[in-house]
Structure 1
Amino acid sequence: MGIKSLFSDRIRRIWNVWEVRALLQLSLLIQIILVIFGTRRKRDPRILIKFVIWSAYLSADWVATVALGNLANIQEGKNSNFIKTNKILQFWAPFLLIHLGGPDTITAYSLEDNELWSRHFLSLVVQVGIAVYVAIRAWSFTPLTFLSIPVFLTGIVKYGERTYVLRSASSQQFKKALLSANPIAEYALMRMETEGFERKIQMKKAWKFQAGHSDRKEFQLYLDAYFLFNRLQYLFSNLLLSLSERTDCYDIIHSKSAKDAFALVAIELGFMYDVLFTKATLVYSLWGILLRSISFLSSVAALTLFKIFIDPHQKDVSFTYSLLAGAVFLDLSSSVKLVFSDWTKLRLIQKQNPLINRILDAIFYIEGRLINRKIWSTGQESVSNYRKRWSESMAQYNLISYCLREMQTKGQFSDIEKLPYIRQYFQEYHHLTWEDVNDDLKEAIFKQLKEKAEKMEDSYTINLCKELLAQRGDYVLEEKYELEELKWSTVDLDFDHSLLIWHIATTVCYEDDFAEKAAEDAEGSGSGEAKKPGDTTESKDAKEGHQKGNISKFLSNYMMYLLVLCPFMIPEGVGEIRFRDTCADVMQLFNKERCSMVEISRKLLEMVYRRSISQSVLSDGCKLAKKLRWLESDQKGWNREEKWKMISEVWIEMLTYAANNCGWKDHAQQLCKGGELVTHVRLLMAHLGLSEQYNERERFMV
C-alpha cells in the first residue's frame, strides 16, 4: 500500500485548503504562548514551564517559515487560480513577518542563540524576500493591498529588531559596545592586548555612572541597582574595574540590610536578563518606544480600516480578523509589560518630580493589586515585596534520600526508564525538591560575606583577595573555631570530594539531632501539652540550633544539586563519578533492609567504629559525622547551637568558593532557568570587593 493511499483524495483536498490557515493559527498561538510565558522562566524553574517555552521557541520560526513558503507555493501550478479568487491571502504574509520578529519578552532561549545572530540575519533577508514575492504576485489596486503596507512594514521592523538585539547581546558585540562607550578604555585595551594582557581594562573614574539620590528608600533601591548594573556588564565581559569602582560599589552595598542587598541584586540581575534574552536594549530606548507606538497604532488602524472597507461576506474575513486581533493583542501585551517593567520605573525615578512620583505610586499600586500582594505603601515597604524577580528558591538534592527512593522504587519503572531521556528524568529531576531562600539564610550569607570584605576595606591587594576567595571551609575550621582535627575534610582534597564528605556528615547529623525532636514536637502539639515555664531559655537555644541546622541542611542539599545537575557551576573534578560510587556504596549496604532516613543515618554513625565500610567518600563522611557529634561531648563542651553555627558557616564558605569559581557566562545562562542562589552570592561578593576583577593600580588620572 503506497503512502498516498493512506489518505483519501477528499482528505488531501481539505488539507490543501486548510493547511495555510492551520499554520497561521498555530503560529499566532505560539506567539501568544511566548508573550505570556516568555518572562516567567526567569522566576519559575519548573520543568513544565521550561518545556513549554523551549518547544514554542524552537517551533515558532519553523511554523512561520513553512506557512510563508506555502503562501508562495499556493500561487503556482494547480492553485494559481485560487489566489485570484481569494485576494485576501496576500494580506496574510505580513503577519508571518510579525511572528518571525517574535515578542519583546524573549529573543534568545539561551546565550548561544545570540552568537547565531548572523544566521537570523540571513533568515531575515530570505523571509522578507519571500513575503515581497507573495505581495508582488498578488498586487492589485484594492483597499486590501494598501492596508497590507503598514502591516508589512511593521513585520520587517520587528524582524529587524530581533536580529539587531541578538547581535547586540552576542559576546563580541556586547564587549565592543562597552568599550566604545569609553574611548580611553578602548585605547587601554588595545595597548594591553599589544602587551599580552587581553581583557584587562581600567575604567576612567570620571566616566562612571552616577547612582543618583532619592529620599524614598524604594526609589533609591532602583537607582543603586542601575548604578551597580553598569559595573556588572563589565564584570560579565571579564573586564577589570578600578579600585575607585570597588569603593563605590562597597559603599552602596555594605550599609544595606541582607534583605535589601538581595533585593538590589535581584533587580540588577533582572536588568542583565533583559539585556541578554529580550529586546530590552531597544524597547526601552526612545526609538524603541516610538516604534512600539507606531506598531500598535498600525495594528489598530489596520483592524479598523479592514472592518470599514472589506466586504464582511468575503471568504476568510473572520479568519483575517483573528490575525488582526492577535497582532493588536501582542502589541497591547508588550505595551502593558513595558509600563510595569523595572526599566520604566527606573526611567521615571531618574526624572523625579511631584507628577512623576504620583505616576510611580499608581504603577506600584496597580502592580501590587494585580499580583495579590500588599497594597503599595510609600516609604514603608521594600520593592522586593511586590514582584518576584527570580525563583527565590534553591533546589534540594539529597544523596541518601536519592538512594532510599531508588531502592524503594526499584523495578517499578524499569520499562519506562528505557525510553530516551526518561531515565535521566527519574534519576535526577524526579528527586528534586525546593526550599525558599528565606531571610535567615540571606542574613547568614550576607553577614559572612561582609566579615571577609571588611578585611580589605582599607587595604585591597590582589594577593589578599585571592587568599580570601580560596577559602572553602578551611578558614572557618582552622582559624575561626580552631578545629585542627577537622581540617583534613577540606585541605588537600578535591572540592567535590570535600563537598560530598560534608554533605553526608551534615545529613547524618541533622537526622540524628532533629528528626526525633520534630516528631516529638508534632506529637506534643497534637496532644495540646503546654511548655513548662522553665523551658524558655532552653527552647530559645534549641530554636537557634534548629535554625542553623536548617541553613546547613538546605545549603548542603543545594550544593549537591549543583554537583549532580549543574556541575559546570562548581570547580572541575570527578564529582559525578564520586557521587555514583557513593550511591552504590549506600545501596549495597542497605539494599536488603527497609530503612528510613533516620535509621540509615544512625546506622551510618554506628558503622564508623563497628566496621570499616571501605576507603570511600561514604567512609570519610561517616568519620566526619562522628567527629561533629563528638563536639557536643563533655570533652569538647560545645552546645548544639554552636555546632550547627559552625557547620552552616562552613557551607556558606563552600558556597562562596563555588560561586567565585563559576564563570560569569555560566551564571548568566542560569538566569533564564529561574536563577540560582550561587549567582546572587557571586554578585554580592563582587560588589563587596571580593573579586579578582579589580585593578590594583590607577592607570588613568582624573
Structure 2
Amino acid sequence: MSLSSAVNWWEEWQLRILVLGSLVIQLYLAIFAPIRKSPSLLPFYRFLIWLSYLGGDALAIYALATLFNRQKKLQCHPSYVDAGSHDLEVLWAPILLIHLGGRMTISAYNIEDNELWLRHIGVAVSQVSVTVYVFTTSWSPSADKRLLAAAILLFVLGVFRCFEKPFALRRASFSNLVTSFHPAPWTETTNREVVLEKYIQEAADFVQRNQDPPTLDMAEKQHHLERLSNHDMLFVDFAYAYDDRFEKLKSLWFLDAETGFEALRRGLSNTFNIIYTKLWQVRDENRDVDYLGGMFSILLWNITTTFPIASIILFHVSKKEGYRGSDIKVTCLLLYITYFSEILSAPERLFSIKWRSRLFKWFARFLCPRPPVMVAQHSLIGGGLLARDNKYSILLSIGKCFKGQDFLRQLIGRCYSPEGEGITSMVRDHVKDGWIFYIRDVESYWEFNDFRGHLSLQHNGCEENLGWSIEKPFDESIIIWHVATDFCIHRKPNGPSVDSKFARIISNYMMYLLSAKPEMLLPGSRITLFNTASKEISDILQGDDGVSPLDKEQLMEKIINKAEKAEAGFLHEAWLLAEALMQLGDDAKMWEVIRGVWVEMLCFSAGRCRGYLHAKSLCIGGEYLTFVSLLMSQAGLEIFPDKQQRVKLRLPKEQRVSIAKLMIEEANQPAAMVLVFGEENAATQPSASQDVVVAEV
C-alpha cells in the first residue's frame, strides 16, 4: 500500500475509527471503573482506567471536530461522500455528546476533581453548544424525519448526561459534603466534662454487660447493620454527639465481628459512591437528603431507559436505501452498545432505592463474593534484599541518574496481604478489652486512646526494660520496632503462628505507611527516615556480591552482626530492642508483647489521621487504616476531631463520676429525680455547688 492510498484510507475511515474508539472507552469505563475500589488492583489496570477517564473526552471531542470538518468538505464538494451516509454520520453527533457526559460509575478520579465543578459547568455548556452547532450546520433538510426525531431524543439524553457530571462534582465537593452532614447540636448550658463522663460510664457498663453479641432476628440485625453502614462523618472531621456515639457503639457490639466488618465495608463503599461516582444516595440519619438530586436522578433514569430504545426503533423504520453498509453497521453498533452501557448503570440508579438495594446486595453476596480486604506490605530489610537482585539493581542505577532512587526503594518489595478482616477482628478485641478492663473515667479513656504500646508492655511487666523504644518520636519507634520484629522472626522462627503472623503483617503495613503515606501515619512523619534507613541497609549488603540474593538467612545474619557492632543508629537500637524481647524467656510472651504493641501503634495512628486523607485514599481503593479509624469511631473511641476538641477537666474526678452516675440513674428512673445544671462559665472555675442541683419530684 502506497503512502497516498494509506492517507486516503485514513481520511475515509478516520471518523468511524474515532467514533468506535470513543464507544469502546465508554463501555470499558462502564464495566471496569467500579473495580478501582479494590486496593490490590494492579497499577497497570488502574492506569488504564485513569487513561480512559481522561482520554474519553478528548477522543469524543476530536471525533466531533472530524465530523464537522468532514461535513464542511461535503458542502464544498458534494461528491465527496454519498448523501445518505452524510445524514447518517450527523446522527453520530448526539451519541458523542452522550459519551462526553461520562459514565455513572465514575464522575471524579481524584477527590480534587470535585472542587472543579464550576469549571465543568462551563465545559458542559461548550460541549453542548459545539455539538448542537455541528448538528444544525450539517443536517440536511431533505433527510428522513425519523432520523431527525431519533437525533433529538439522543440530544435530550446527551444534554442531561453532560450537566449531570458537574452536578455530581458539586454534590461531592468538600464544602458541600460538610454542609450536608448533621453536626453535633449546639451546646449552650451543658457541662461537657460531665456529659463526656456520663457517656464513658454508660459505654463501659454496656460493653461489660454485653461481652458476647446477643441473638438477633433479621430485622434487628438489618437495623444495626444499616446504622453502621451509613455515610460516616469521619470523612469531614465532624465529631458525633455523645448520644449518637453511644447508639453506634451499641449497634457495633450487638453484631458479631463478621457482620460488623461487613458494615465497615458497606459504609466505605457508600462513601466512595458519594465522592467518586454519580450515584444518588437515599436519606440517612447523618446527612440531609438532596431532593433536587433525587428528582433529577429519577428523570434521568426514565430518559435513559426509554429514549435510546425509541431512537433505535426510529432508526430501524427509517429509509436505509441510500446509506452505505459500513455506516449502517457502525450506527447500529453505536446505538446498541451505547444503550447497553447505559443499562449497565441502570441497576445503580434502580437499586439506590432502599428496599431494592437490599435485594441487590444479597444477590451480589452469593453470586459475586467480595474479595478480601488487602493490607499493603513493605519490609525495610526485605526491600534491601530484593534490591540486590540484578533486575532491581539495574532499575535503581537508572533511577539514580534521574534522582528517583528513593522513590524506587519505596516500590521495591511492596506487596499485599489478604488478612484485613483478621486484623480488624484483633483491633475489635483490643478495643473491647479496653472498655472492659481499663476505661473507668475520662482520664483512663484519654490514656487508652493515647497508648502506642504502653498497655501491652504494662500488662506483660516489661515497660521498664522496653519503654524507651515507644517514648521516641513515633516515626522512629516504627522503624525500630519494625526492624526488631524482623530480627525476632529470624532468630525465633517457630513462635506462635497467629501472634507472629499478625505482628509481621501490621509491622510491614506501618512501614508501608511511613514510606508511601507518611501524612496518614501521623502528621509530621519523616519519609527521610525511611530513605536513610533503606540506604543504610543497602550499603551493608553491597559488599556481598558472591552471596545469592536467595540466601536471605546469611544476609540477615550479616545485618544483625553489623547491628551488634554498631555504637548508635537505628539498627543498633533495633537490635537492643530485639535482644530485650528475646530475653523475656518465653516465645509466646514475646510475640504477645510484639503483637500487642503493633495493634496499639496501629490504633494510635488511625486515631490521628484526618478524615480528608481517608476520603482521598478511597480513589485508589482506600487504605486499610481507614477501616481501623472507622471501627474506632463506631466502637466509641476518639478519632481525629475528638482529639482536637478535648474538654478541659475542672471538677475533681470523684465528683464528676458521681454526678455522671446520678444522671444515668435519673435517666433510667425519670420519675425519681430531675438534674438541673448551671451554665458553664469558661472564664470562672465552677464550684461544686454550682454544677448540679438534685431536686426531688
In the TM superposition, 1:339-378 aligns within 5 A as: 343-344=352-353, 346-348=354-356, 360=359, 363=360, 366-367=363-364, 370-371=367-368
The offset of 1:337, in angstroms, is: 4.8
Aligned CA distance change for structure 1 residues 231 and 24 (closer, same or farther; 3 Å): closer
2:29 corresponds in structure 1 to: 34
The offset of 1:579, in angstroms, is: 1.6
Structure 2 counterpart of 1:51, one-letter code: F
Aligned CA distance change for structure 1 residues 261 and 598 (closer, same or farther; 3 Å): farther
Aligned-partner Cα distance in 2 for 1:488–1:690:
26
2:308 corresponds in structure 1 to: 299
Deviation digits for residues 383-414 of structure 1, max 9, x if unmatched?
xxx334xx511111111111111123264446
Asked if structure 1 preserves the Cα contact closer than 8 Å seen for 2:378 and 2:508, the reply is: yes
In the TM superposition, 1:455-474 aligns within 5 A as: 459=441, 461=442, 465-474=445-454
Partner secondary structure for residue 38 of structure 1:
helix
**Number of equivalent positions:** 597
Asked if structure 1 preserves the Cα contact closer than 8 Å seen for 2:231 and 2:268, the reply is: no
Partner secondary structure for residue 241 of structure 1:
coil
1:380 corresponds in structure 2 to: none
1:586 pairs with 2:582? no
Deviation digits for residues 221-244 of structure 1, max 9, x if unmatched?
554344235461x33222232111
Aligned CA distance change for structure 1 residues 465 and 48 (closer, same or farther; 3 Å): farther
1:645 corresponds in structure 2 to: 592
1:168 pairs with 2:179? no
Asked if structure 1 preserves the Cα contact closer than 8 Å seen for 2:387 and 2:412, the reply is: no
2:610 corresponds in structure 1 to: 663
The offset of 1:501, in angstroms, is: 0.1
The offset of 1:249, in angstroms, is: 0.9
1:393 pairs with 2:393? no
Q: Which moved more, 1:289-298 or 1:687-696?
A: 687-696
Deviation digits for residues 225-268 of structure 1, max 9, x if unmatched?
44235461x33222232111111111111233322221111111
Find the partner of 1:16 among 11, 21, 26: 11
Q: Which moved more, 1:260-269 or 1:218-227?
A: 218-227
1:597 corresponds in structure 2 to: 552
Deviation digits for residues 471-513 of structure 1, max 9, x if unmatched?
211332246634211111111x221110000000001101221
The offset of 1:84, in angstroms, is: 8.1
1:321 pairs with 2:332? yes
Aligned-partner Cα distance in 1 for 2:246–2:56:
46
Asked if structure 2 preserves the Cα contact closer than 8 Å seen for 1:282 and 1:288, the reply is: no
Under a length normalisation based on structure 1, what TM-score does the superposition of the two structures give? 0.78
Structure 1 gap segments, 5+ residues each: 1-6, 192-213, 351-359, 372-385, 518-541, 633-638
Aligned-partner Cα distance in 2 for 1:126–1:629:
69
Deviation digits for residues 568-593 of structure 1, max 9, x if unmatched?
21113453222222223223333223
Asked if structure 1 preserves the Cα contact closer than 8 Å seen for 2:384 and 2:538, the reply is: yes
The offset of 1:45, in angstroms, is: 2.9
Q: Which moved more, 1:219-228 or 1:35-44?
A: 219-228
1:617 corresponds in structure 2 to: 570
Aligned-partner Cα distance in 1 for 2:218–2:620:
27
The offset of 1:369, in angstroms, is: 5.7
Structure 2 gap segments, 5+ residues each: 189-213, 283-292, 648-676, 680-697
Partner secondary structure for residue 434 of structure 1:
strand
Structure 2 counterpart of 1:239, one-letter code: F
Deviation digits for residues 654-673 of structure 1, max 9, x if unmatched?
11111122111111122222
Asked if structure 2 preserves the Cα contact closer than 8 Å seen for 1:31 and 1:60, the reply is: yes
The offset of 1:290, in angstroms, is: 4.2
1:3 corresponds in structure 2 to: none
Partner secondary structure for residue 39 of structure 1:
helix
1:354 corresponds in structure 2 to: none
Asked if structure 2 preserves the Cα contact closer than 8 Å seen for 1:94 and 1:151, the reply is: yes
Deviation digits for residues 51-73 of structure 1, max 9, x if unmatched?
11111111111111222233333
Aligned-partner Cα distance in 2 for 1:572–1:175:
22
Deviation digits for residues 551-577 of structure 1, max 9, x if unmatched?
100110111111112222111345322
Aligned-partner Cα distance in 2 for 1:369–1:282:
24
Asked if structure 1 preserves the Cα contact closer than 8 Å seen for 2:374 and 2:417, the reply is: yes
Aligned-partner Cα distance in 2 for 1:597–1:667:
36
What CA RMSD, in Å, does the superposition of the two structures yield over aligned residues?
Answer: 3.3
Structure 2 counterpart of 1:387, one-letter code: R
Aligned CA distance change for structure 1 residues 91 and 425 (closer, same or farther; 3 Å): farther
Asked if structure 1 preserves the Cα contact closer than 8 Å seen for 2:168 and 2:278, the reply is: yes
1:201 corresponds in structure 2 to: none
Q: Which moved more, 1:59-68 or 1:145-154?
A: 59-68
Aligned CA distance change for structure 1 residues 454 and 242 (closer, same or farther; 3 Å): farther
1:495 corresponds in structure 2 to: 474
Aligned CA distance change for structure 1 residues 618 and 310 (closer, same or farther; 3 Å): farther
2:504 corresponds in structure 1 to: 553
Asked if structure 2 preserves the Cα contact closer than 8 Å seen for 1:114 and 1:166, the reply is: yes
1:377 corresponds in structure 2 to: none
Aligned-partner Cα distance in 2 for 1:215–1:325:
50
Asked if structure 2 preserves the Cα contact closer than 8 Å seen for 1:393 and 1:436, the reply is: yes
Asked if structure 1 preserves the Cα contact closer than 8 Å seen for 2:475 and 2:514, the reply is: yes
Aligned-partner Cα distance in 2 for 1:30–1:420:
34
The offset of 1:330, in angstroms, is: 0.6
In the TM superposition, 1:185-584 aligns within 5 A as: 223-230=223-230, 232=232, 234-281=233-280, 285=294, 287-311=296-320, 314-315=323-324, 316-338=327-349, 343-344=352-353, 346-348=354-356, 360=359, 363=360, 366-367=363-364, 370-371=367-368, 386-388=369-371, 392-409=373-390, 411-413=393-395, 417=399, 426-437=408-419, 440-454=422-436, 459=441, 461=442, 465-478=445-458, 481-491=461-471, 493-514=472-493, 517=494, 545-573=496-524, 575-584=526-535
Structure 1 counterpart of 2:389, one-letter code: Q
Aligned CA distance change for structure 1 residues 454 and 19 (closer, same or farther; 3 Å): farther
Q: Which moved more, 1:497-506 or 1:272-281?
A: 272-281
Asked if structure 2 preserves the Cα contact closer than 8 Å seen for 1:61 and 1:100, the reply is: yes
Deviation digits for residues 114-166 of structure 1, max 9, x if unmatched?
11111111100000001111222134362211110111000111111111111
Structure 2 counterpart of 1:257, one-letter code: D
Q: Give % identity.
A: 26
Q: Which moved more, 1:49-58 or 1:464-473?
A: 464-473
Aligned CA distance change for structure 1 residues 156 and 559 (closer, same or farther; 3 Å): same
